[in-house]
Amino acid sequence: MLAEIITIGDELLIGQVVDTNSAWIATCLQEIGVEVVQITSVSDSEDHIVEALNLARKRASMVLITGGLGPTRDDITKKTLAKYFNSDFYTDQIALEFITGIFKKRNMPILDINLAQADLPKKCTPLYNSLGTAPGMWFEDKGQIFISMPGVPYEMKHMMETDIIPKIKARFELPTIIHKTFLTAGIGESFLSLKIQSIEDALPPHIKLAYLPKFSTVRLRFSARGLFREILQQELDVIETQLYELIEEYILANEDISIEEAVGRLLLERNKTVATAESCTGGYLAHLFTAVAGSSAYFIGSVIAYANDIKINELGVRHGTLATYGAVSEQTVLEMARGLLTKYETDFAIATSGIAGPGGGTTEKPVGTVWIAVVSSQNSLVEKFQLHGQREQIIQRAAINALNLLRKMLLSNE
């Protein structure tokens, strides 16, 4: 079953709004075995919408449309669809009740243009909207389905989850698609592809592999499509075993989670705590830890030691160390990490110091030079990284590498 998504709105084409709806809808459809073949964003223009509909129905048997259902004049999706399917309008009493109910709840006077939102094409099945004033519409035409939804993300999501997905499942016999994602770190995309070449070469046509790099991690996503979930699952299990044989040291998780979640789980499982002493990452590492809900169970806190005085006074880095080796050095990050471990009494402490740029680089220590240390009461791991990209990327990559270094330490302790 193939689907297309059409998002309608001038705001998308001038870059004012990033289309997040499409990715969300695509994920939803994927999960029930509907494959999205194209996503198209067009302006609030009748000709352009009709052209997009005509092209989409050539490629797909289901077209999902968002946007252009508001009450104002620039919203023309409903009118355009009614004309496209050659349908008159009627006033839908249930939609009218939803709309008047919303205005009553918000204690706002209702305008004629709002009431008119209950006028729907006779040829559609209404998709009632409990969260907003624009009803959705489900059209069937020559065996094809056209679904029109509001562009407001939370209204659209609610309509998809409660109404549209169940309707699609009931209406079609769908194939089975299952995905298996592996999070890797510490190895680049091309090296990874070399290491797992034997697996990739042996993949049957119904299993696809995608490399999804992001900063210093790469996600490997295998997608298997077929008739029987159990058989597909068995095939992916075999691949998983092979993958662990080839690249176990680089695999952080066998599911689609972030590195900060993966490391957080390791800490939680082992009942360990961590704190960070950050110079070049400037709080970004602490932010990654604390972006995970429930991180207060293992993340204690940080000293962001941007100024050298803070490194000395708060972390106990020695004057002599800074004078002899500089702030960006193995000796300094080790003293930072050890100082914090004692001060915050955690099981692990991570320290970062580096040159995020754009200024501050030298021939010896160019922009992107980052030292990272992870220490526990028994062990220490320290590594120098030469990171690329602009300031923002260097900060992000340094933080990801710090998480990966902590992970190595956690696993080596076993």
Report 69-108 residues binding its own copies (CB under 8 A): 70-74, 102, 105-108
From the list 310, 312, 322, 382, which residue makes contact with its own copies (rule: CB under 8 A)? 310
Closest approach of Cβ 320 to its own copies, in Å?
Answer: 21
CB-wise, 80 or 276, nearer to its own copies?
276
* Closest separation in Å from C-beta 398 to its own copies: 12
Nearby residues of 113 by Cβ (< 8 Å), 6 or more positions away: 71, 72
> Which is closer to its own copies, CB of 282 or CB of 316?
282
32, 58 contact by CB (below 8 A): no
Single-letter code of the amino acid located at 150: P
Q: How far apart are CA 251 and CA 185, in angstroms?
A: 7
Please name the residues in contact with 407: beta carbons below 8 A apart, sequence gap of 6 or more.
185, 252, 259, 262, 263, 266
353-372 positions binding its own copies, by CB under 8 A: 356-359
Q: Which residues pair with 144 in a beta bridge?
A: 141
By CB under 8 A, the residues from 149 to 178 that bind its own copies are: 152, 154, 158
Nearer to its own copies, 175 or 282 (CB): 282
How far is 34 from 109, CA to CA, in rounded Å?
42
Taking Cα atoms as reference points, which of 287, 284, 343, 336 lies closest to residue 308? 336
- Residue 257 binding its own copies, by CB under 8 A: no
Q: How far is the CB of 238 from its own copies (least distance, A)?
A: 21
Q: 226 to 255, contacts with its own copies by CB under 8 A?
A: none
Of 80, 184, 258, 302, the one binding its own copies by CB under 8 A: 302
Task: Give the E-state strand segments of 80-216 in sequence order.
Answer: 89-91, 119-121, 125-127, 136-141, 144-149, 176-185, 207-214
Which helix (H) or strand (E) segment holds residue 102: the answer is helix 93-105
Span of 88-96, 210-218, 232-240, 404-412 interacting with its own copies by CB under 8 A: 210-218
CA distance 73 to 66: 17
Binding-residue pattern over the window 37 to 66 for its own copies, x denoting contact by CB under 8 A: xxxxxxx----x---x--x-----------
Q: State which residue, 87 or 242, has the beta carbon closest to its own copies.
A: 242
Q: Which residue in the set 1, 96, 165, 304 belongs to the binding site for its own copies (CB under 8 A)? A: 304
285 binds its own copies (CB under 8 A): yes
The residue from 84, 182, 299, 348 that contacts its own copies (CB under 8 A) is: 299
Choosing from 46, 90, 194, 324, the residue that interacts with its own copies (CB under 8 A) is 194
User: Read out DSSP for 306-325?
Assistant: -SHHHHHHHH---HHHHHHH
Least Å distance, CB 20 to its own copies, is 5
User: In this structure, how many other beta carbons lie within 10 angstroms of the beta carbon of residue 202?
Assistant: 11
Q: Does 28 bind its own copies (CB under 8 A)?
A: yes
Shortest Cβ 282–its own copies spacing (Å): 3
Residues 114-133 close enough to bind its own copies by CB under 8 A: 114, 131
CA distance 261 to 253: 9
In a 10 Å sphere around its CB, with 0-12 CB exposed, 13-18 middle and 19+ buried, how is residue 323 labelled?
exposed
Residue whose CB is less far from its own copies, 110 or 123: 110
Question: By CB under 8 A, what part of segment 314-343 binds its own copies?
Answer: 314
